Structure 1
Amino acid sequence: MAFQKSSHTFTKIHLKALHTNNFKILFALSFTVFINMLSFAQDIPKSGITIDRSVKDSIVVSTDSLLLPKVSEKAQDSTLKDSIKPKPKKELLEHTVKYHAVDYTKFNQKEHKLYLYNEATIDYGDMNIAAGNITIDYTKNTVYAKGITDTIGGYTQKPVFTQGSNVVEPDSIIFNTKTKKALIFNSKTEQGDGTIIASLTKKENDSVYFLKNAKYTTAEDLEDPEYYIRLLKAKIVPGKKIVTGAAGLYIYDIPTPVWLPFSFFPQSEKQTSGIIIPSFGEQNNRGYFLQNGGYYLAISDYVDLALLGDYYTNGSYGFRTESTYAKRYKFRGNLGFRYENLINSERGFPDYSKSTIYNIRWSHSQDGKSNPNSRFSASVNLGSSSYYQTSVNQINTGAFLNNTLSSSVSYSKTFQGELQPNISLTATHSQNTNTQQINMTLPTFQGSLGRIYPFASKAGTKKGIIQNVNLQYSVRGENRINTTDSLFFKKEMFDDAKAGFQHNIPLTTNFKLFKYFSLSASSNFNEVWTFKTIEKSYDAVTKKTTTEDINGFDAFRTYNFSTSLGTTIYGMFNFEKEGKDTELKAIRHIVRPSISYNINPAFDKYYDTAEVVNADGLTAAEIDAIYNNVNLEYTRFEQGIFGSPGNNFSSSMGISVSNNLEAKVRDKDSTATEPKKITLLNNLNFSTSYNFAGDSLQWSPVRMSGGTQLFNNQMSVNFGATLDPYALDNNNTRINKFNIDNGGSLFRLTSANLTTSWSLSSRKGGDKDKNKKGIEENLRSGGRDDDLFGISEDFANQQIDNEDEKEEEEKPSEYYNYSIPWNLRIAYALNYSNNRRENEISSHSLMFSGDIKLSDKWSIGASSGYDLKNAGFTYTQLRFERDLMSWRMNFSWVPFSTRSSWNFFIGIKSNILKDLKYEKRNQPDLQL
């Protein structure tokens, strides 16, 4: 017979499954078996008293109740009769006991043992025991379950204990029904993300287990784990903790010097609070450091908080807080605050400097099903303009090139009713990190009423010019603040705040004209309220204009009229020939021409002339010269947030043409019954205008734009150009003379642009984005939605969940695969400028990023670009990653730029052991 090695006979145990009253069940089972055997049915031996096995009487003696001696009533003591009736005893069997075995079910009267062999099962209520061999010893109150060993299948039919949803699969088990203790041999116990493999496990009770010479690992291959932590002695409290004695790290059964005198592994199905182990290193100008260490607070099931800090031996420090909150079907979001006090060099040295930077981020989204009539959202990213450029934390790598920070917090509500009133409050923020200028609206109020059709019939569709007449009302109020980074969050930032309201009532209608044309007409009434105007005066002596602010309510009103006429023209070019299956079937051309007319009256009544001061002693000729050389006309509303009324009459016509080209080609799929439709041009647009009221330069430049998709929509191309019909003089100024009349071409190209992006992949449909988390961090920081400028990397939480790896579509083949998975993203941008005969390429760049999976475990990636105009590489990031099954190794390198740095990391993926890691980095020096 062949026996399996003990080191390979282990099982999987869910410890909570042993929480039951086995003694009662086995006691009831023994009672039933004795009835079936018609032996010892009337005698249940007392505990501790053995039965004489020499007595083998098969005759059952029945005693008549009439032969029993009568008990005298006088002899009975009255104290034996209790007035309180005893509580009836609970039934011995609460459920029907069922047991079965394929080969045999045998009870040994001499040994007082019940044997079940081959696919043996015992069912009692929700409890089930299945094993190849089950033995119940009634003298020792034990149950022994094991598998069957044969020469063909080896060790089979290992025990399986099931109670409810809990399953226990030991190699073999001895359970004492009286003490509730058990010995489990060669067991495998799942505890959270890890597994404990022990040669011997002692079950003390339902909540405590003791192990000897065990292994703890998170590896998937438990037959040959790539690493484990050897536990000489351990105590397990299921679902709560694992406490061990001496514990050491082994890699492929090779011991390492990493040993601890004791260790503690928290075990919980819910998130728990705990310490975050920092990483350490050294930086040239700041000394040694501890970074990204702190504490994680599991506040509740809906919100958590991480407190992280950095410290450098030269006195620099920083801290950040990250909180994530969510409530299912309601909302979700995250909030973060980062602060860094950076000191460069040492006090007293010439390169000594000190700076303080901070950043606040908040993202909130509401589930659309939670409240359809109201919505709240937030996307905040504000702080020091130099934060992303001077921060030394690698999590900000992907946002290093950001030059704009923006924020928006909004709330909107729609009221039910016929007019459906809608209101919204929005606070916005825009910050230029180069100029350090900040524009904010605190807040913006918007309100509107639904569209009203005063002449439409109550039933049926709206027809004709009258029934389609509609109007709408909207109001917008703003409190706008313009400030700088140095005054941000200070009271001075509110000194120059501007506030105002704008009311708008558009009156429109549309109808069909001559069946094929669509005509629309609209008139718009606009009223602006402001709380601050200006008054100008001109000093004739100093020849300077002074402006004085006037506080108080004021308003102006404007109106205009516009109409447009458009149609759609379809053209079909058929290339099919009778008897031939041509590859190109047809081309469809869609043209949408439109012409519009706009009238904007002049509102001269809102314009004044600046008062001339210090005019005493000047002659009339001198005053006229001042008036002729200086424009003293102004409007008191010119610094308002909603603009100012125009003082020039405008009567203009606009012309636009849009084109769309589609083709039908033969489908490469032989099973397809219809031709395949492809897009040749998504759009090709031309637009210009002519001002009838202008005295010169009446034609505006022709603007052209277009775009298309190529290579099965993998490559997008967008282009544009501006064509000016007028010529330039010797001073490169536009003159009222057509360029063709000045010896040139019909149009003069003043600007052009071309942008393309191309995504390539070795897999059909593209490869899943392995940098998803880093790109999400880029977006939260205001960066790009791709990895062309690199990705953010949080080395404090390098370990990731294994969910992404479990989503692999197919298991990789064990044979060599010549096709190496890869993906490549390319972006190209070209801008040309020739407004004043510059005739130069203003910008010309190529950006690219990609990943290559050299093997099933090795992958490399890069993000870079090349400035074709200045002949130099742009910001570059190189990434190398090795999947070590239960471990992950990563190397990231920025070879040049002011943020040049590298980082090496290796650590365990599992969350419970993520602090078991090694990290070495070279951080960039502070750039001021």
Structure 2
Amino acid sequence: MRKFKRIYFVVLFLTAMILIAAKKNLATNTNAGFSGSLPHLFKDTVPQKSINDTIPVKDTLKITDSSNLSTDTGRKVSTDTFTLKISKDTLSGPVKYYAQDSIVGFMDSKIMNLYGKAKTEYEDMTLTAPSISVNQDKHMISAAAGRDSTGEISDYADMKQADNEFKSEHMEYNFKTQQGITKGTITQQGEMFVHADIVKKVDARTMYGLGTFFTTCNLDHPHFGFRARRSKIINKKLAVTGAIRPEFDSVPVPIYLPFGIFPLYQGRHSGILSPSFERNDQMGLGLSRLGYYQVINDYWDAQVYGNIYSYGSWSVNVQPTYRKRYKYQGSFNFGLQSTRRNFPGDPDYYHTNTYTVNWSHSSDTRSRPGVSFSANVNASSTRYNENIPNSNLMNYNNTAGSSITYSKTWQDKPFSFTVSANHNQNNAARLVTINFPNAAFTVNTVYPFQKKESAGVKKWYEQLGIGYQGSFQNAVAFYELPDTILHRSTLRRMLDTLQWNANQSIPITLSLPPILGGAVMIAPSISYSQQLVDRKATYEWIQSLDTVIAHNVKGINLKQQMSMGISFNTALYGQYNFKNKNLVAIRHVVRPTVSLSYTPDLNKGNYQRVKIGVGDTASYVYYDKLAGLYSRPVDIFTARKFGGINFGLDNNLEMKVRAKKGKKQSGSDSTDTDGNSDSKVDENGFKKIRLIDGFGFTSSYNMFADSMKLSPFNLYFRTNLFDKINLSANGIITPYRLDANGIPTKNYAWQGGRFNIGTLTSASVSMSTSFQSKPKDANKAKQRQEMINQQMNDPMLQADQQRLLEYMQQNPAEFVDFNTPWSINLSYSLTYTRPSRVTGAYNAQYNGITSSTSFNGSFNLTPKWNFSVNGYYDFNTNKIQTFSMSISRDLHCWQLSVNVTPVGIYRYFNFTISPKAGLLQDLKINRNRSFYNGTSY
């Protein structure tokens, strides 16, 4: 019996082992994670020793030599023993999760619940919420917002994926399909904020919304927006809705539109330019800037827009822009304008056609070192600006200028070449001047006697330098008047005024060692120049007109000049020390300059003496016949032969004081408690303050002149008082007596009577100052200034800069800086010109004095209300020539502004309430009127 039990136990044990082995083998063969057969076996790299076994055993595994393997790359050779198959339902990456409070996992349902500032990350998706639930089996994640004791949301569920962000009360999202559904969602698309009761995300780019609210207000409860029941949103591209209506502060406005389209593009995209409504008394009702913007390619785009008014006025502009990185960029604008004021048959009916051409171009010197090309063209009809409606800034702009320049500099050589074209026009006088072509070739100063490799002090002759300058100019000037007035065509007038000249000069310089212990610097020089002109002028005084008339005589004429001189410069210092502990010293610096020069008379026949007046009151003036048709009289003692002394005296005054406590040493300009920022504090705690930046005079004495040897004294003065008030003055004093016509005589002012240094013939004084409070946020103020500078210096916006400046001038309240509580800018100018028949300013009732002041200021009445004014006052007429004021209100995402110009030729009124966001810049309530009180020519 015992033996039978042992046999039974052994059989049972063997049976169990066989069953376990069979089950394990079956599980291995049926595992879904493994498949395929064993790979090819390769020859072992470690040779085995041959063992003579007495019992031969046949090997069941065939070892294949690697040299016999196929080299066909099309056959896949597995390098591992097993191949792992990835399930289609497996995620493409790990899911990371974190919770501050706790994590609860349910292994059977594979659900993880996260509590307390929970966070989940998967690829480019990050979800943060007060609580998160992750279902690993279904690849689902859900999150809910947190609420306070009153039931209000205290913390949203926030999901960020790529550049998208969603804030929701509740959301469910599938990792694998990227589909989900959210409730109470807020997301931002560019400048647009989208609020929705329910959002269904069907793929990575497309969403459907129910109860959608579109706004540019960034608050959770926005001030305004557009509400639609259903919407479709294509990420960063477009949003389309059904019936839509506006809301203000949750109050619906009963204005319905059948559908809504909101562009959500980032960057450039083609589209319609929305117009704005305008009203003008002379032109009627109108649409402004209606047009289309087209992106042509990566380098070009263009916009076409126009204005149209009910009285028949219209304008059209074509404005392409181009840019190629690291090479060039620019913009072009061509505009046509047809202006009709009032109605045909009215006595004040007015009609004219005008044009404008603008081109701005700049090249990157890195693309072609040594070569540059730039253009800044602003050409137009002389009446174009005055016919722009509702634009005071452009209406008063009477000047325009253009320049196109190409230059080349040879590297490692002293040569440079420049070709340019210039244009200037005076819209008030309707005079247009064009200079083209202008060419210049320059050889920079070279030192022929200087050694290539020198050591020690250079010899005096090694400092001898020679240069060369050659140029050619061509000019055309004409008045833009109807041909019937001058009875000649514009082309004919241009050919009649065509002038050219060619110049060349050779300057020679020499630097000598200083003398008197280095106190006096010596610099001799010599130069020779020639000028060829194609015509000369003759002058005569017409008694009946009481003026001088000039006539042109064509022909090639030579004008040449040679000068030699030597100059001496030094500086003298005077200082007065104080015993006061705060005021240390005052220093006076005097810099006298004396130069001896000689200019021989090489142009005796180029000057004409003209008699002005009759009888005993007659006097004589001189004209340079080669200076041009519209040149002014010249001083004969400086225009012809000159040999004498040029002298001048420059001064400045400084004060040295002890800096107040708390003032830190600085290597750059800094500001103390008094607001002074023009001084530096040295290591001993002292700082220097400039009292007078400069004052002095210059003049000359011509020893070869037969009379009037002493030239007028030019006086100047400049300073910056308290680092706040810029003050400058200059004047001209003639040292001779004047006759009844205001013309200098040969007698000195101090001869034959009491001492008198001369007569003040002209003078000017200008003063300006600005005060402003510190900004509330310094970083915000810096960013705002950088943005303005970038826009004003961007060549792509050159064509629009004038329009932008005009719009800013016309609507200052829309550009109020609420970050600066207040600012004031004041300027004053006074000029004096002694009446004279020669200068054309002779009038018994004219005293020669003109003065005016301009002012502007901005004040924050409250943190959200701002009031600003600017104006110009003429003291001669005792009238305010221009005056405007504005008031604005910051409405967070909106801005209200009222602008009034009650004084001037162009009077204007404007009321605007508009969103701040550029996306809705045309969605504004605008009411404006303009009044024109001037006359047309």
TM-score by length of 1: 0.76
Partner Cα distance (2:907, 2:752) in 1: 54
Given that 1:398 and 1:778 are in contact with CA atoms closer than 8 Å, whether structure 2 keeps it comes out as no
Q: Structure 1 462/425 Cα, relative in aligned 2: closer, same or farther at 3 Å?
A: farther
Q: Structure 1 67/491 Cα, relative in aligned 2: closer, same or farther at 3 Å?
A: same
Given that 1:751 and 1:835 are in contact with CA atoms closer than 8 Å, whether structure 2 keeps it comes out as no
Partner Cα distance (2:539, 2:730) in 1: 45
Please list, as runs of the form range in 1=range in 2, the aligned pairs for 1:14-25 lying within 5 A after superposition.
Answer: none
Given that 1:726 and 1:737 are in contact with CA atoms closer than 8 Å, whether structure 2 keeps it comes out as yes
Deviations 1:635-655 (A, max 9, x none): 996769999999943323211
Partner Cα distance (2:258, 2:355) in 1: 42
Q: Residue 376 of structure 2 aligns with which residue?
A: 379
Deviations 1:128-179 (A, max 9, x none): 6555544456887754333566869986776555666665554322345787
Deviation of 1:828 after TM superposition, in Å, equals 0.7
Given residue 878 of structure 2, which amino acid in structure 1 is its aligned partner?
A
Deviations 1:611-659 (A, max 9, x none): xxxxxxxxxxxxxxxxxx999x999967699999999433232111111
- The answer to whether structure 1 residue 563 and structure 2 residue 555 are counterparts is no
Given that 1:100 and 1:116 are in contact with CA atoms closer than 8 Å, whether structure 2 keeps it comes out as no
Given that 1:799 and 1:914 are in contact with CA atoms closer than 8 Å, whether structure 2 keeps it comes out as no
Q: Residue 732 of structure 2 aligns with which residue?
A: 722
Which of 527, 532, 535 pairs up with 2:530?
527
Structure 1 window deviating more from structure 2 (357-366 vs 193-202): it is 357-366
- The answer to whether structure 1 residue 480 and structure 2 residue 475 are counterparts is yes
Deviation of 1:716 after TM superposition, in Å, equals 0.5
Deviation of 1:688 after TM superposition, in Å, equals 1.6
The secondary structure found in structure 2 opposite 1:874 is strand
Q: Structure 1 212/660 Cα, relative in aligned 2: closer, same or farther at 3 Å?
A: same
Which of 392, 395, 402 pairs up with 1:400?
395
Q: Residue 823 of structure 2 aligns with which residue?
A: 823
Given that 1:279 and 1:796 are in contact with CA atoms closer than 8 Å, whether structure 2 keeps it comes out as no
Deviation of 1:570 after TM superposition, in Å, equals 1.4
Which of 209, 216, 221 pairs up with 2:219?
221
Partner Cα distance (2:869, 2:811) in 1: 21
Deviation of 1:842 after TM superposition, in Å, equals 2.0
Q: Residue 52 of structure 1 aligns with which residue?
A: none
Structure 1 window deviating more from structure 2 (246-255 vs 155-164): it is 155-164
Structure 1 window deviating more from structure 2 (511-520 vs 860-869): it is 511-520
The root-mean-square deviation of aligned C-alpha atoms, in Å, is: 4.5
Partner Cα distance (1:653, 1:265) in 2: 76
Q: Structure 1 533/280 Cα, relative in aligned 2: closer, same or farther at 3 Å?
A: closer
Q: Residue 239 of structure 1 aligns with which residue?
A: 236
Deviation of 1:660 after TM superposition, in Å, equals 1.1
Q: Residue 207 of structure 1 aligns with which residue?
A: 205
Deviations 1:353-389 (A, max 9, x none): 2112333233334456555522222222221223323
- The answer to whether structure 1 residue 456 and structure 2 residue 453 are counterparts is no
Given that 1:499 and 1:641 are in contact with CA atoms closer than 8 Å, whether structure 2 keeps it comes out as no
Q: Structure 1 196/721 Cα, relative in aligned 2: closer, same or farther at 3 Å?
A: same
- The answer to whether structure 1 residue 761 and structure 2 residue 763 are counterparts is no
Q: Residue 862 of structure 2 aligns with which residue?
A: 855
Given that 2:873 and 2:881 are in contact with CA atoms closer than 8 Å, whether structure 1 keeps it comes out as yes
Q: Residue 573 of structure 1 aligns with which residue?
A: 576
Partner Cα distance (2:662, 2:136) in 1: 75
Q: Structure 1 520/497 Cα, relative in aligned 2: closer, same or farther at 3 Å?
A: same
Given that 1:606 and 1:635 are in contact with CA atoms closer than 8 Å, whether structure 2 keeps it comes out as no
Given that 2:588 and 2:654 are in contact with CA atoms closer than 8 Å, whether structure 1 keeps it comes out as yes
Given residue 569 of structure 2, which amino acid in structure 1 is its aligned partner?
G
Q: Residue 409 of structure 2 aligns with which residue?
A: 414
Q: Structure 1 661/843 Cα, relative in aligned 2: closer, same or farther at 3 Å?
A: same
The secondary structure found in structure 2 opposite 1:64 is helix
- The answer to whether structure 1 residue 103 and structure 2 residue 95 are counterparts is no
Which of 4, 20, 23 pairs up with 1:64?
23
Q: Residue 904 of structure 1 aligns with which residue?
A: 911
Q: Residue 335 of structure 2 aligns with which residue?
A: 338
Partner Cα distance (2:756, 2:734) in 1: 9
Q: Residue 311 of structure 2 aligns with which residue?
A: 314
Deviation of 1:280 after TM superposition, in Å, equals 2.1
Given that 1:749 and 1:834 are in contact with CA atoms closer than 8 Å, whether structure 2 keeps it comes out as yes
Deviation of 1:326 after TM superposition, in Å, equals 4.4
If asked which structure has higher relative contact order (CA below 8 Å, sep 6+), I would say 1
- The answer to whether structure 1 residue 514 and structure 2 residue 516 are counterparts is yes
- The answer to whether structure 1 residue 700 and structure 2 residue 700 are counterparts is no
Q: Structure 1 339/892 Cα, relative in aligned 2: closer, same or farther at 3 Å?
A: farther
Q: Residue 197 of structure 1 aligns with which residue?
A: 195
Which of 649, 655, 672 pairs up with 2:647?
655
Q: Residue 277 of structure 2 aligns with which residue?
A: 280
Which of 756, 765, 773 pairs up with 1:746?
756
Partner Cα distance (2:794, 2:152) in 1: 57
The secondary structure found in structure 1 opposite 2:385 is helix
Partner Cα distance (1:674, 1:464) in 2: 44
Partner Cα distance (2:790, 2:166) in 1: 43
Given that 2:536 and 2:557 are in contact with CA atoms closer than 8 Å, whether structure 1 keeps it comes out as no
Q: Residue 348 of structure 1 aligns with which residue?
A: 345
Please list, as runs of the form range in 1=range in 2, the aligned pairs for 1:616-635 lying within 5 A after superposition.
Answer: none
Aligned pair count reads 799
Deviations 1:840-899 (A, max 9, x none): 342011111111122222212222121112211122222222222111222222212221
Deviation of 1:201 after TM superposition, in Å, equals 1.2
Please list, as runs of the form range in 1=range in 2, the aligned pairs for 1:43-192 lying within 5 A after superposition.
Answer: 64=23, 90-92=85-87, 95=93, 103-107=102-106, 109=108, 112=109, 114-118=111-115, 131-135=129-133, 142-146=140-144, 159=157, 161=159, 168-175=166-173, 181-192=179-190
Q: Residue 498 of structure 1 aligns with which residue?
A: 499
Partner Cα distance (2:593, 2:175) in 1: 91
Q: Residue 721 of structure 2 aligns with which residue?
A: 710
* Long gaps (5+) in structure 1: 1-59, 71-82, 539-543, 611-628, 809-819
Given that 1:500 and 1:641 are in contact with CA atoms closer than 8 Å, whether structure 2 keeps it comes out as no
Given residue 23 of structure 2, which amino acid in structure 1 is its aligned partner?
D
Given that 1:881 and 1:888 are in contact with CA atoms closer than 8 Å, whether structure 2 keeps it comes out as yes
Q: Residue 664 of structure 1 aligns with which residue?
A: 656
Q: Residue 73 of structure 1 aligns with which residue?
A: none
Partner Cα distance (1:800, 1:630) in 2: 59
Q: Residue 625 of structure 1 aligns with which residue?
A: none
Q: Residue 440 of structure 2 aligns with which residue?
A: 446
Given residue 823 of structure 2, which amino acid in structure 1 is its aligned partner?
N
Q: Residue 355 of structure 2 aligns with which residue?
A: 358
Deviations 1:46-91 (A, max 9, x none): xxxxxxxxxxxxxx999627799x9xxxxxxxxxxxx999998752
Give percent identity, aligned residues only. 26
The secondary structure found in structure 2 opposite 1:758 is strand
Partner Cα distance (2:501, 2:807) in 1: 44
Deviations 1:732-785 (A, max 9, x none): 5433323223334422333322110111113389988989969988999xx9xx
The secondary structure found in structure 2 opposite 1:741 is coil
Given that 2:881 and 2:903 are in contact with CA atoms closer than 8 Å, whether structure 1 keeps it comes out as no
- The answer to whether structure 1 residue 598 and structure 2 residue 597 are counterparts is yes
Deviation of 1:393 after TM superposition, in Å, equals 4.2
Partner Cα distance (1:912, 1:777) in 2: 21
Partner Cα distance (2:875, 2:537) in 1: 51
Given residue 416 of structure 1, which amino acid in structure 2 is its aligned partner?
Q
Q: Structure 1 148/400 Cα, relative in aligned 2: closer, same or farther at 3 Å?
A: closer
* Long gaps (5+) in structure 2: 1-18, 30-73, 484-488, 541-548, 610-617, 665-683, 837-841
Partner Cα distance (1:825, 1:775) in 2: 23
The secondary structure found in structure 2 opposite 1:455 is coil
Deviation of 1:606 after TM superposition, in Å, equals 6.5
Q: Structure 1 162/289 Cα, relative in aligned 2: closer, same or farther at 3 Å?
A: closer
Deviation of 1:425 after TM superposition, in Å, equals 1.1
